Amino acid sequence: MRGPEAVKRLAGDGFPRAAPAPGTFAGAGSSSPFREERPLADPGERDLIAALRRKDVAALAEVLARFGGAMATLARGMLREPAEAQDVVEEALVRVHEAGPGFRGERGLKTWVLRITANLCRDRLRRRRFTAASLDGPGPVDDPGLRFDPVAGWDERLDQRAMAARLDAAVARLPAEQRDAVLLRHRLELSYEEIGGTLGVPLGTVKSRLARALVALRAELKEWDA
């Protein structure tokens, strides 16, 4: 079961889809008919957030359409196993559906969805056991997401492939916290604030991790600058 099939599976769960009764909050599911309304990070997401709060299954298709690519990119970058990454995306959609009524919208929907995805990836990484196969190093990803200019005079395609492989290997050797920050910044092009919200760390920590990663990557790739 993949992607849209995960959304279809939830369609038979029997959650209410009707609009909220007049005078009640759109996502109300608690004992009180009213709930404090907090300012949304992105007012343009109001309708989608309201649908998630009332556990409207149709809203998951919109979440997948808007953020599915970013979720998959994040999961593949953290887990480096495409099939497992797809499982995480599906599991994240289920978590979004279950947690929808409690989402307050202060950090933005994309940040919230990616944070759920990142946490699920961390859970899987913690459960992994070292094996002989894992000692061979992580497999390459299709596109490390960091851009570079080919060296003048070299065959461009060969140079790009060689540099991409070198860069991917260098990123893979970074500590996990630095690697995740690089992935979010340079592949998903998130702001520092969005990275902090996704990883659950302060803004200064995000900048520090990225700075340390940049120093390490430059040291790894310095011979390519010659």
pLDDT of amino acid 7: 56
Cα separation, 97 vs 53, in Å, equals 8
Close Cβ partners of 55 (under 8 Å, ≥ 6 residues apart):
15, 16, 29, 97, 100, 101
Angle formed by the axes of helices 109-127 and 46-53, to 10°?
50
**Domain regions of the chain by residue span:** 4-127, 141-225
Q: For the chain, what percent of residues have pLDDT higher than 70? A: 65
Residue 30 has pLDDT above 50, yes or no: no
SS3 157: helix
User: What are the pLDDT digits (tens) for 63-111?
Assistant: 999 999 999 999 999 998 899 999 999 999 999 999 999 998 777 899 9
Domain 141-225 class, CATH top level: mainly alpha
Residue 145 has pLDDT above 50, yes or no: no
Residue 121 has pLDDT above 90, yes or no: yes
Residue 59 has pLDDT above 50, yes or no: yes
Q: Considering Cα of 7, then 8, then 14, then 18, what sign does the dihedral take?
A: positive
User: What are the pLDDT digits (tens) for 196-222?
Assistant: 999 999 999 999 999 999 998 888 877
The architecture of the domain spanning 4-127 is Orthogonal Bundle (1.10)
Q: For the chain, what percent of residues have pLDDT higher than 90? A: 46
Annotate 12-31 with b (16+ C-beta within 10 A) or e (fewer).
eeeeeeeebeeeebbbbeee
User: Residues for the chain: how many in total?
Assistant: 226
pLDDT of amino acid 27: 38
Mean pLDDT of the chain: 75
pLDDT of amino acid 223: 61
pLDDT of amino acid 208: 94
